[in-house]
């Protein structure tokens, strides 16, 4: 039985929620290991649509057990709302959902600090944060002053929330922000904490026992490799390790237990927020991809920036993430495109570059070097096998495999579960 990590290989929003939902048909556990509710996974089941921010996508499969791992920062008020909605829609949580007592808590002052700091930055220097308090919460974790989920069970928890909120109000006011109503904060946190108490566990022994029993485990990443705190387009990144290396640290299992890594990659490239994006399109083609692909953030609703497939980014992500399979998403969005381009390298200051530079300034000066492909001009949404795909479409997929050195094992030609081809070639 495999221990699989599923990660985004671009700037997030690649469609991880759908593929996780497809894969969970055959797994025992689904584990979120990093990030917070700044990520949103959209899953469509028949006519039903679910947007999950903190809850692992396996919750939509009755047989799956789900873990919110120690590597996350958890907005407990947001999680209470999310879980309440799932219960209202008939999803069972008892004995299926477990929250690590080592995960850190996102509190209202983290969000206030996040929004105030971003608002104070000059244009061109903004990070593009979702203002969900993720960065400030990870800052408190590193500064060793954060509150963890396990602290909810302590008698002095609300006293600590009150004291920390008062301290943070001083900082918020010094930055020009509005101080929080401490009594209101304590009330909201108290209600959420009480709701979540039945789900709190020491999940590390639980997951290691699952590994020992050879259970099928899927580790669900959020965002994408290019938003990784170390390997992404820093500083326009998130605050955690989004790649496969984050899974052991964010769940408490040994690194050697992981034996499979699937990278989610779109047939083109998108990103939300600020930062360099070498293949970004500013013309009608960019607008066409955005419209057909419904490219709006699941969490923020912000329009995504769209561009051609960037093989430099894909190869880099495969290298640092240990990706050995692609799940290629939204191929159908290109069905009516006459000429399709793939970025095979960059040109910067007269030099050809074949990898992603660490310097954000240098990446911003990079110009894409393209290969062009004839489009297939045929709908693919009804295709149910590799052989049913148009010839030019197959050639495009095969080229992506060739240039990245990674085989495509899953192909998505539409948003529904049924629009997913598992390839065996």
Low-confidence ranges of the chain (pLDDT < 50): none
Our CA dihedral for 21, 244, 129, 39, rounded to 10 degrees, sits at 10
Per-residue pLDDT at 207? 98
Closest residue by Cα to residue 4 from 211, 203, 209, 202? 211
Mention every residue, 6+ apart, whose C-beta is less than 8 A from residue 301. none
The vertex-210 CA angle with 22 and 193, nearest 5°, equals 80
Mention every residue, 6+ apart, whose C-beta is less than 8 A from residue 158. 186, 189, 190, 193
**Long-range residue pairs from 171-176, CB within 8 A, at least 24 positions apart, any chain:** 171/113, 172/109, 172/112, 172/113, 172/116, 175/113, 175/116, 175/117, 175/120, 176/116, 176/120
Query: pLDDT, tens digit, for every residue of 376-418?
Result: 999 999 999 999 999 999 999 999 999 999 999 999 999 877 8
Catalytic residue check, 230: no
Contact 380, 389 (CB under 8 A): yes
The single-letter DSSP state of residue 302 is: P
- Active-site option among 41, 53, 104, 110: 41
Per-residue pLDDT at 413? 94
Distance CA 348, CA 3 (A): 40
Per-residue pLDDT at 300? 64
Catalytic residue check, 41: yes
Give the pair of three-digit tokens for residue 104. Answer: 């850190």
Per-residue pLDDT at 339? 96
């Amino acid at each position: 039985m495999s221990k699989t990590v599923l990660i985004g290989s671009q700037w997030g929003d690649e469609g991880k929620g759908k593929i996780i939902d497809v894969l969970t048909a055959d797994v025992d556990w689904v584990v979120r290991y990093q990030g917070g509710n700044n990520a949103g996974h959209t899953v469509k089941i028949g006519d039903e649509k679910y947007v999950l921010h903190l809850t692992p996508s396996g919750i939509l499969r009755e047989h799956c057990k789900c873990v919110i791992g120690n590597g996350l920062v958890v907005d407990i008020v947001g999680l209470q709302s999310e879980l309440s909605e799932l219960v209202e829609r008939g999803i069972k949580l008892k004995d299926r959902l477990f929250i690590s007592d080592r995960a850190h808590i996102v509190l209202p002052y983290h969000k206030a600090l996040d929004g105030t700091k971003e608002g104070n930055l000059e244009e061109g220097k903004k990070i593009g944060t979702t203002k969900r308090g993720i960065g400030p919460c990870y800052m408190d974790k590193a500064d060793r002053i954060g509150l963890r989920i396990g602290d909810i069970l302590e008698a002095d928890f609300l006293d600590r929330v009150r004291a920390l909120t008062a301290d943070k109000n001083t900082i918020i006011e010094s930055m020009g922000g509005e101080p929080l109503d401490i009594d209101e904060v304590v009330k909201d946190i108290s209600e959420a904490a009480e709701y979540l108490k039945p789900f709190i566990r020491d999940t590390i022994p639980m997951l290691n026992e699952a590994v020992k029993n050879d259970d099928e485990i899927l580790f669900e990443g959020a965002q994408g490799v290019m938003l990784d705190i170390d390997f992404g387009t820093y500083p326009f990144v998130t605050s955690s390790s989004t790649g496969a290396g984050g899974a052991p640290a964010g769940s408490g299992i040994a690194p050697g237990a992981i034996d499979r890594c699937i990278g989610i990659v779109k047939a083109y490239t998108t990103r939300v927020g600020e930062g360099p994006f070498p293949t970004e399109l500013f013309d009608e083609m960019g607008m066409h991809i955005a419209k057909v692909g419904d490219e709006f953030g699941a969490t923020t609703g912000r329009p995504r920036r769209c561009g051609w497939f960037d093989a430099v980014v894909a190869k880099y992500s495969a290298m640092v993430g240990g990706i050995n399979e692609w799940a290629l998403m939204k191929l159908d969005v290109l069905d009516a495109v006459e000429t399709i381009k793939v970025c095979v390298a960059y040109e910067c200051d007269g030099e050809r570059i074949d990898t992603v530079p660490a310097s954000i300034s240098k990446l911003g000066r990079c110009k894409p070097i393209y290969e062009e492909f004839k489009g297939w001009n045929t709908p693919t949404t009804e295709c149910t096998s590799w052989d049913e795909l148009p010839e030019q479409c197959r050639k495009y997929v095969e080229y992506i495999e060739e240039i990245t050195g990674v085989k495509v094992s899953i192909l998505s030609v539409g948003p529904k579960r049924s629009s997913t081809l598992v390839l065996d070639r």
